[in-house]
Amino acid sequence: MKKIVLLFTFLLVLSGCYVQSLNVFYTKDLVVSAPEILGEWDSVIQLGKDVRGMKIRPWKFGENTIETYDGENKFGELEVVYFKVGEDLFMDFTAGRMTEDKHYYPNIYWAAGVLPCHSLCRVDIKGNGLIITPLDYDWFVEKIEKNQLPLRYIKPNYSSSNYVFIADSSEWIKFLKEYSRDTSAFNPKRRFVFKRKGI
């Protein structure tokens, strides 16, 4: 029971790092394959922090999964759907399978998607580099508090809860058309940077 409480507390704290939606961020007609991403990528930056000296295992990008590793080399799998809005590539993600070891806690990237919610990142490929930038939750909170965000959301009545968006896919697409290149909405300080393994 203690492990369940610790994991649940961990998930509540972590969920504030990512914008979460009860609905997917895409419509089926926007789904694409992203063969240029497939394979292993070495971490350079995770959540804005330089991790080159940490010897983190390579992330493995598949057609609809990503095997992720945090700074302690804890594993977590994400289920992903790649889609495009205009020329911009995005990934919608949720938690995938957990490690087989029952005594091993998943990493924070897996935990971010374990609640029945979807999260979103912008994906940029530049030569042998890959940049993944999540939506900035703090920016969303600021916009909500100023009544400047045209997306529907809920916030449970307890003080430590986070906003969860209930906007439908078409609302998200409209939002992405306007904000896909906005560096406040997709803050580079929270990005992940990778280089193709072996290059």
Provide the pLDDT for residue 101.
59
Q: What is the pLDDT of residues 10-69, one digit of tens each?
A: 333 344 467 889 999 999 999 999 999 999 999 999 988 999 999 999 999 999 999 998
Secondary structure letter of residue 189 according to DSSP:
G
Which tokens is 195 given? Answer: 């280089």
Provide the pLDDT for residue 72.
87
Percent of the chain with pLDDT over 90: 61
Domain count, the chain: 1
Query: What is the band of 7 on the pLDDT scale with cuts at 50, 70, 90?
Result: very low
CA distances from 151 to 63, 165, 175 (A): 29, 7, 8
Q: What is the pLDDT of residues 104-114, one digit of tens each?
A: 556 665 555 55
| pTM, entire model | 0.81
Output the average pLDDT for the chain: 84
Give the domain range for residue 105: 2-196
* Angle (nearest 5°) at CA 33 between 57 and 62: 25
Rounded CA-CA distance 179/32 in Å is 20
Rounded CA-CA distance 21/150 in Å is 14
Rounded CA-CA distance 181/79 in Å is 24
Percent of the chain with pLDDT over 70: 78
Position 100 pLDDT exceeds 70: no
